[in-house]
């Protein structure tokens, strides 16, 4: 008789919930009248993300001991569950941001692809071997390639989709080649089995590790593997940019931490230095390039590159404290990033054109909720008190200092100081500058009413500020999740 593997359906339930939502949204595109498609598709996607978050929370509290499933192809542990909760919440908020987005008759396809990308990311963070890692990576990447180019009536969207496809495909090829080298050196695919193979200083193993790290750095949009980020963030639909900026980083950074700690502990002297160098280049390049930007989406793209550098410091520390700092940072960064792009999306809809710094003039007076929210997000990115951004930076700096990387702390502090120039410049345009001839009323008369985006922005603001006051509960969740890794 053929033995079939035991399937842990609870561990797979967040992914299955999102796949089900994707299927419903796709059926909506062909089975119901056109006037109902947006509401039903958005509702299905929103419920799918909410259900996935709830199920991932159940998995978190029901999993005390990490467990390898399906012949070590995936993990059921609190790290994957917590990451899945964060990813699902990001997806639900982005659905709210997407509600009023002007688009052609492709609402069903849009929400189906959004849910499918979320499912791929939830599957990705629980990957237990190199095969499922690549499968999850391609799963959500292909969905994002189509989402970026979905606004076919805009040349910038099509251009961004093509650039993302070419560069992303190259990054995936590098990662796949690196996986092949690691398999050739160890004869193993599973992360824990690779660590136990004792390949020593095999040149193929080191080369494979370097290529895998480079491939993941593409997804993290860390410099010098960031070349696609500004153009893709600027050209993609703003709601898609919001999803990519937070969800893709969360998934890629969590998987990078898991892979390096679980599969390559013996090579830590190599990869900690490599990650620290990538973090340094990201902080320097991202902050300096952001100083010259006038388009707000490009400015936020370079900001995300710099923020990736700060988060990579937590991985370079190679400690439980560094892992906890990374998870805390991801929670705060996700709220700030999605919220900032949501405000940009609102302004785009009001002005019917891309948002520049000049386009923000007067927004703080005209739309107080969005003005205050964007102000809070900018202060959070810069690491000001009363936002979780200050603790996010302090925690990664503390982890780096404990690991002996004091130079990385000094560089991070200097990069933070440079970032004040462009973050506070955004606030200046919100409240202290008015472009010549620009009235304090949006194009078309009164500003459009969009309560869904208002709820999303308010929620992101609450998390950004609330994470300053409820630090310990978030750290407790992160600590329990990091206990899943073999530090």
| Structure confidence by residue, pLDDT tens digits, 150-175 | 888 888 889 999 999 999 999 999 99
Confidence of residue 52 (pLDDT cuts 50, 70, 90): very high
Average pLDDT over residues 222-229: 90
Whole-angstrom distance, CA of residue 242 vs CA of residue 462: 17
pLDDT at 44: 94
Average pLDDT over residues 88-115: 88
Confidence of residue 88 (pLDDT cuts 50, 70, 90): very high
- Is 80 exceeded by the pLDDT of residue 440? no
Distances (CA, A) of 126 to 245, 250, 433: 20, 13, 47
- Is 50 exceeded by the pLDDT of residue 443? no
Ordered DSSP codes for 360-379? GTTHHHH-HHHHHHHHHHHH
> Within 13 A of 42's CA, how many CA atoms are on the CB side?
17
Note whether 318 and 255 are within 8 A (CB). no
- Is 70 exceeded by the pLDDT of residue 100? yes
pLDDT at 365: 85
Confidence of residue 292 (pLDDT cuts 50, 70, 90): very high
Over the stretch 347-378, which tens digit does the pLDDT of each residue have? 988 888 889 998 888 888 888 899 999 999 99
pLDDT at 269: 92
Average pLDDT over residues 467-471: 95
Average pLDDT over residues 481-485: 93
Angle at the Cα of 241 from the Cα atoms of 113 and 172, rounded to 5 degrees: 70
pLDDT at 482: 95
pLDDT at 445: 43
Domain ranges of the chain: 266-482
Mean pLDDT of the chain: 91
Confidence of residue 329 (pLDDT cuts 50, 70, 90): very high
More confident residue, 378 or 200: 378
- Phi-psi sector, 354: left (phi>0), alpha (psi -120 to 50), beta: beta
pLDDT at 164: 93
Whole-angstrom distance, CA of residue 245 vs CA of residue 313: 18
Residue owning tokens 């012949």 = 71
Residue owning tokens 């280049």 = 281
Tell me if residue 329 falls in helix, strand or coil: helix
> Is the CA virtual torsion 345, 348, 353, 355 positive or negative?
negative
Over the stretch 252-277, which tens digit does the pLDDT of each residue have? 999 999 999 999 998 999 999 999 99
CB-based burial, 358-381: b 16+ in 10 Å, e otherwise: ebbbbbbebbeebbebbbbbbbbb
Largest CA distance in the chain: 79
Whole-angstrom distance, CA of residue 132 vs CA of residue 419: 38
Note whether 94 and 459 are within 8 A (CB). no
Average pLDDT over residues 326-331: 96
Whole-angstrom distance, CA of residue 423 vs CA of residue 106: 35
pLDDT at 487: 82
Average pLDDT over residues 447-469: 89
Mean pLDDT check: name the lowest of 49-58, 126-135, 436-445: 436-445
Distances (CA, A) of 15 to 58, 136, 324, 418: 13, 11, 24, 40
């Amino acid at each position: 008789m053929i033995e079939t593997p035991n399937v842990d359906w609870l561990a797979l339930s967040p992914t299955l919930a999102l796949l089900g939502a994707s299927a419903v949204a796709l059926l909506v595109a062909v089975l119901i009248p056109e006037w109902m498609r947006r509401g039903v598709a958005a509702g299905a996607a929103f419920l799918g993300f909410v259900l996935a978050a709830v199920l991932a929370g159940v998995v978190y509290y029901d999993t005390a001991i990490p467990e390898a499933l399906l012949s070590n192809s995936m993990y059921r542990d609190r790290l994957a569950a917590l990451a899945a909760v964060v990813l699902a919440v990001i997806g639900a908020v982005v659905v709210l941001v997407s509600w009023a987005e002007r688009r052609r008759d492709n609402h069903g396809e849009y929400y189906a692809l959004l849910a499918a990308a979320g499912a791929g990311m939830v599957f990705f963070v629980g990957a237990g071997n190199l095969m499922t890692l690549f499968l999850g990576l391609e799963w959500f990447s292909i969905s994002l390639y189509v989402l970026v180019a979905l606004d076919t009536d805009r040349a910038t969207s099509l251009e961004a989709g093509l650039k993302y496809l070419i560069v992303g495909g190259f990054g995936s090829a590098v990662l796949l080649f690196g996986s092949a080298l690691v398999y050739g050196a160890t004869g193993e695919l599973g992360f824990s089995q690779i660590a136990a193979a004792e390949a020593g200083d095999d040149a193929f193993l080191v080369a494979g590790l370097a290529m895998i790290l480079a491939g993941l750095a593409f997804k993290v949009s860390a410099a010098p593997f960031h070349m696609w980020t500004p153009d893709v963030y600027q050209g993609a639909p703003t709601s898609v940019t919001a999803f990519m900026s937070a969800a893709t980083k969360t998934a890629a950074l969590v998987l990078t931490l898991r892979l390096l700690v679980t599969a390559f502990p013996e090579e830590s002297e190599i990869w900690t230095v490599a990650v620290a160098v990538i973090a340094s280049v990201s902080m320097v390049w991202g902050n300096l390039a952001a100083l010259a930007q006038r388009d707000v989406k490009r400015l936020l793209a370079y900001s995300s590159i710099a923020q990736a550098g700060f988060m990579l410091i937590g991985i370079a520390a190679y400690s439980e404290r560094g892992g906890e700092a990374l998870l805390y940072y991801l929670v705060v960064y996700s709220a700030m990033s999605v919220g900032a792009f949501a405000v940009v999306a609102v302004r785009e809809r009001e002005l019917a054109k891309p948002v520049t710094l000049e386009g923000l003039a007067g927004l703080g007076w005209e739309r107080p909720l969005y003005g205050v929210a964007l102000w809070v997000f900018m202060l959070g990115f810069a690491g000001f008190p009363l936002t979780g951004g200050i603790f996010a930076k302090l925690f990664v700096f503390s982890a780096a200092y404990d690991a002996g990387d004091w130079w990385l702390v000094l560089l991070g502090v200097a990069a933070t100081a440079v970032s004040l120039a462009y973050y506070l410049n955004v606030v200046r345009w919100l409240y202290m500058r008015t472009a010549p001839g620009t009235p304090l009323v949006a194009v078309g008369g009164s500003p459009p009413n969009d309560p869904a985006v208002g709820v999303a922005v308010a929620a992101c603001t609450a998390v950004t500020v609330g994470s300053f006051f409820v630090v310990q509960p978030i750290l407790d969740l992160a600590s329990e999740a990091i206990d899943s890794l073999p530090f």
